Amino acid sequence: MTSTYTKAKPRTRRQLLPMLAMLFAALLFAGVAQAGSHGDEQPEMAKVTPSPMSFPDTVEAFEAQAKEAGWSVLNKNYMSGVLSERGFTLDPVVIIDVCSGEYSARILEEDEFRPVSAFMPCRVSIYQDSQGDVFISRMNVSAFLPMMPDEVAEVMELSSNEVEAIIEQTVAE
């Protein structure tokens, strides 16, 4: 009796990456859906603040407030523009990377804290919805603090508090 056994070919990185990306997206989607469905049990993953100003005025005011507070605007990703080049038509969305050297240095100077750099710099999204309303969105840092080492949680909380103050000043204009 002969058996024809063929050994499965090992998967290449090119084959694994899309599978891992789909798995990550599925887990992220499940986490977002779960975060929104548990009410008081689990905080929302993002905070959203309406802006009384137009999209361009909100972006300008946020940048001015960030600079006034001593933060640097490192980058602006106009997502609707990038995606329009790929054939998608979206309402305006800009993701702004802001940084406070004081807080960044406290995390990055310690080798064991450097993995947290994946959450850096602080990101704020300003977007306009299909009704023309403008919003400022950012990560709800307090939802993630219990997962971080105490020293990192302290820095992240201080940093988050400053970003919240910048946003409050932005929408108060």
Q: Are 37 and 47 members of one domain?
A: no
145 pLDDT more than 60: yes
Domain match, 51 and 36 both: no
What is the total count of domains within the chain?
A: 2
pTM of the complete model: 0.74
Q: Are residues 59 and 77 in the same domain?
A: yes
pLDDT at res. 28: 47
Does position 15 have pLDDT exceeding 90, yes or no? no
Indicate the SS3 state at residue 172.
helix
pLDDT at 36 exceeding the cut of 80: no
Beta carbons of 91 and 125 less than 8 angstroms apart: no
Same domain, 72 and 18: no
Judgement on whether residues 24 and 64 belong to the same structural domain of the protein: no
What does the pLDDT read at residue 119? 86
Domain of 20, in residue numbers: 12-42
- Asked if residue 1 belongs to a domain, the reply is no
Regarding whether 116 and 64 lie in a shared domain, the answer is yes
Indicate whether 4 belongs to any domain. Answer: no
Read off the pLDDT of residues 58-115 as tens digits, 9 standing for 90 and up. Answer: 999 999 999 999 999 999 999 988 898 999 989 999 999 999 999 999 999 999 999 9
CATH number of domain containing 153: 3.30.310.70
Long-range contacts of 40-45 (CB under 8 A, 24+ apart): 42/143, 43/140, 43/142, 43/143, 44/140, 44/143, 45/139, 45/140, 45/143
Q: What would the two tokens of residue 42 be?
A: 């689990």
Whether 76 and 94 map to the same domain: the answer is yes
